[in-house]
Amino acid sequence: MFARRAGWDLTANAYSERVAARRRTGLPVVDLTESNPTRCGIRASGAALARALEALAGNVDCLRYEPDPRGAIAAREAIARYHVEQGARLDAASVVLTSGTSEGYAHLFRLLADPGERVLVPEPSYPLFDLLAGLESVEVAPYPLRWRAGRWRIDLEALESAAASGARALLVVHPNNPTGSLASAEEISAVRALCRDRGLALVSDEVFAAFRNGSRAGLAPTTWLPSAEEAESAPLGFVLSGASKLLALPQLKAAWVAVGGPERLRDEALARLEVIADSFLSVSGLVQHALPGLLADRAAIVAEVSERVAASEAALANVLGQSPHAEILPREGGWSAIVRLRGEPPPDEDALVEALLDGPGVVVHPGWLFDLAPIDDDGHSVAHLVISLLAPPREIERGAGGILAMLTGGNSGTCA
Ligand SMILES: Cc1ncc(COP(=O)(O)O)c(C=O)c1O
């Protein structure tokens, strides 16, 4: 009856069931996976939205339906200004609105790959690639990011050999989720050269680009979109971004694809992308009219979210710094922390995550969910926990206390 692409195993995830069961008992739950800004007490985004709704009420443009397949011009101009501030060459004509980054991915897979063709995806990274590509009958092939000498690097050799087996596009996430890593200027130019040589399109997910971790982010470029000088020698490139992270407003369902690269190829891509977008016209006109005002308010939102992430990271370090078995990997950007755990015998991620839930009621993501390899750069076995730094610092402190107790007490039976 159903297509193979919809042939998922729909049995409920055992861990989510366990979390739900714990919540039903009324026992405390400290959720360190909470990354929905509307549940994390971010005030600036709510205030900006209230202003935008008030302005919409008096905006007569909202009374008309005159869809532009790429999106309302005022919204696209505001988006282009944001990317130009980051150093890219971009004009409003090179932006296409979507109703979420996931829809942006779907449009790009439709544009770039036929059923059965491959796209290269980073590993560890965002766990939705398999599903999103699978829905378009596109295959994913991973290329590794490796933790070496204190930072995550693209394994260029492995990437070359993954590309050699044939692919249509190469995906990067910048900063990557959950590693928080940014590609260096050297990595970007090596990857661009590979894409040009092999005729691959380059897709960069930059939903977290505004959230850089000060000096740790260093000189890493903010965007993979080429500057005016770089455009003609760059490969065809697409950047995904949107309101769910940049404005901490996931309920807006507003995102976009920005297109860069050599002019002729870019314009051809845009003309085809426009046909795809025109087939759906998915972004609400009201949301499109609200976007310029909301983007004008983004500095306060980015500042508040960045403060929250920094405070939560400090709280986590304060508590877990007391254990010789825990290390928080340095973060160059984004909203996640990776806690690396060692022990003798080496900790078992699933056993630890379950023990944290059943004991102190702490909910965390196991590293395997993001394909974090259970091994460090010296070949030692390790476990990883992934924690959302959008969770309030008080919650982080409580949850980290539970993790610390587990590590020092060894009561998961898995940690020294
Ligand atoms: C790397 C990355 N891209 C995209 C998204 C989702 O974006 P959207 O809400 O616009 O679909 C997420 C959500 O966590 C993400 O981590």
Contact yes or no for 100/255 (Cβ under 8 A): yes
* Whether residue 37 has a cis bond before it, omega within 30° of 0: no
List, chain by chain if needed, residues with CB within 6 Å of any ligand 1 atom: 100-102, 126, 173, 177, 205, 207, 242, 244, 250, 255
Q: What is the pLDDT of residues 213-233, one digit of tens each?
A: 998 999 999 999 999 999 999
Which domains does the chain possess?
13-42+300-409 (3.90.1150.10), 45-296 (3.40.640.10)
CA of 406 to the centre of ligand 1 (A): 31
* Whether residue 115 has a cis bond before it, omega within 30° of 0: no
Q: How many CA atoms lie within 13 A of 14 on its CB side?
A: 4
Termini Cα distance of the chain: 51
Q: How many CA atoms lie within 13 A of 329 on its CB side?
A: 33
Those residues whose C-beta lies under 8 Å from the C-beta of residue 121, and which sit 6 or more positions away, are 129, 133, 140, 141, 142, 143, 171
pLDDT at 410: 60
Please state, in angstroms and rounded to a whole number, the distance separating the CA atoms of residues 207 and 190. Answer: 22
Low-confidence ranges of the chain (pLDDT < 50): 412-416
Which two three-digit tokens encode residue 109? 């897979």
Q: Fill in the DSSP letter of residue 381.
A: B
Strand partners, 39: none
Which two three-digit tokens encode residue 301? 């939102």
CA of 151 to the centre of ligand 1 (A): 23
pLDDT at 415: 35
Please state, in angstroms and rounded to a whole number, the distance separating the CA atoms of residues 147 and 226. Answer: 27
- What atom in ligand 1 is closest to the CA of residue 250? 9
**Burial of residue 184 (number of CB atoms within 10 Å: 0-12, 13-18, 19+):** middle
Please state, in angstroms and rounded to a whole number, the distance separating the CA atoms of residues 171 and 191. Answer: 10
pLDDT at 352: 95
Q: Fill in the DSSP letter of residue 375.
A: B
CA of 58 to the centre of ligand 1 (A): 31
pLDDT at 397: 98
Region for residue 346 given its phi and psi (left: phi exceeds 0; alpha: psi -120 to 50; beta: otherwise): beta
pTM of the model: 0.97
Which two three-digit tokens encode residue 333? 């950007």
Q: What is the pLDDT of residues 90-140, one digit of tens each?
A: 999 999 999 999 999 999 999 999 999 999 999 999 999 999 999 999 999
CA distance readout (Å), 147 to 58, 128, 133, 376: 52, 22, 26, 7
Q: Fill in the DSSP letter of residue 212.
A: B
Interstrand relation of 201-205 and 169-173 (parallel, antiparallel or unpaired): parallel
Please state, in angstroms and rounded to a whole number, the distance separating the CA atoms of residues 118 and 342. Answer: 36
Probe ligand 1: pick from 128, 211, 224, 241, max atoms within 8 Å of CB?
A: 128
- What atom in ligand 1 is closest to the CA of residue 103? 11
Q: Which amino acid is at 298?
A: R
